[in-house]
Amino acid sequence: MTRKTILIVDDHFVVRDGLRLILETSKEYQVIAEAENGYDAVKAVDEYLPDLILMDLNLPGLTGLEAIKIIRQKHSDIPIIILTAFNEGSSILRGLQLGAKGYLLKDTDRESFFRAIESALRGETLLSPEISEKIFSYKDKRERENLVEHSLTLSKREYLILQQVAQGFTNKEIAFDLALSERTIKAHLTNIYNKLGVNSRSEAVATALDKGLISL
């Protein structure tokens, strides 16, 4: 049976050595290379084309997230598992958005470690319970923050106009309903676009719906 090849990326020798020892207890995997920073990781992927990458995030020079982004652009078929001692919700979410297939803390148990590798090689995403809880907690916090942020910037009239735009009303219809000129409606829409960071009616509606600011 051909063993799956793995690249270990971590800036600490002790960690790399420990991971290698754990992997060598299995006949299914082979550590094909190691890298201690993001730049070496990118080079090693190009040279060895491993079946899977174990990637630390806190790397010198090129960070783990930056390395993942570069690697995914060139080798989107190689699964990446983030392995780190830091349980930061923002980094977890960003890593998954960049295409990582799993996220494990360095103190995870052996069974969870191998289960994550097996899932990643099958093309699945597997997160430990504590990581999943951290992600949902972070997303809930960000959604609350976004809601407060936009609530403080959009006026009541802008909310009303945005709601009518979402319902398909034209500027002329909105102007008639609110007893305003079309020029005033356009000015309000421009302010809404600027506050939401968008450039069109459709983007404004999509963003507002995503943030829970309006409903259909």
**pLDDT tens, residue by residue, 12-21:** 999 999 999 9
> At 128, which amino acid appears?
S
* Residue 126, domain CATH: 3.40.50.2300
User: Are residues 80 and 68 in contact, defined by beta-carbon separation less than 8 angstroms?
Assistant: yes
> What band does 39 get if pLDDT is binned at 50, 70 and 90?
very high
In a domain, 140, yes or no: no
In a domain, 145, yes or no: no
Q: Look at the chain and report how many structural domains it folds into.
A: 2
Which is nearest to 7 in space by CA: 25, 141, 40?
A: 40
Residues 24, 74, single domain; the answer is: yes
Residues 131, 201, single domain; the answer is: no
Mean pLDDT on 42-66: 94
Which is nearest to 131 in space by CA: 99, 97, 83, 98?
A: 83
In a domain, 216, yes or no: no
Q: How far is CA 193 from CA 134, 185, 208, 212, in A?
A: 32, 12, 11, 16
When the pLDDT of each residue in the chain is averaged and rounded to a whole number, the result is: 83
What is the domain extent for residue 188? 154-210
Q: What is the pTM of this model?
A: 0.62
Mean pLDDT on 4-25: 94
The DSSP line for 153-172 is HS-HHHHHHHHHHHTT--HH
> What band does 103 get if pLDDT is binned at 50, 70 and 90?
confident
Could you tell me the two tokens for 195? 């506050």
User: Are residues 46 and 52 in contact, defined by beta-carbon separation less than 8 angstroms?
Assistant: no
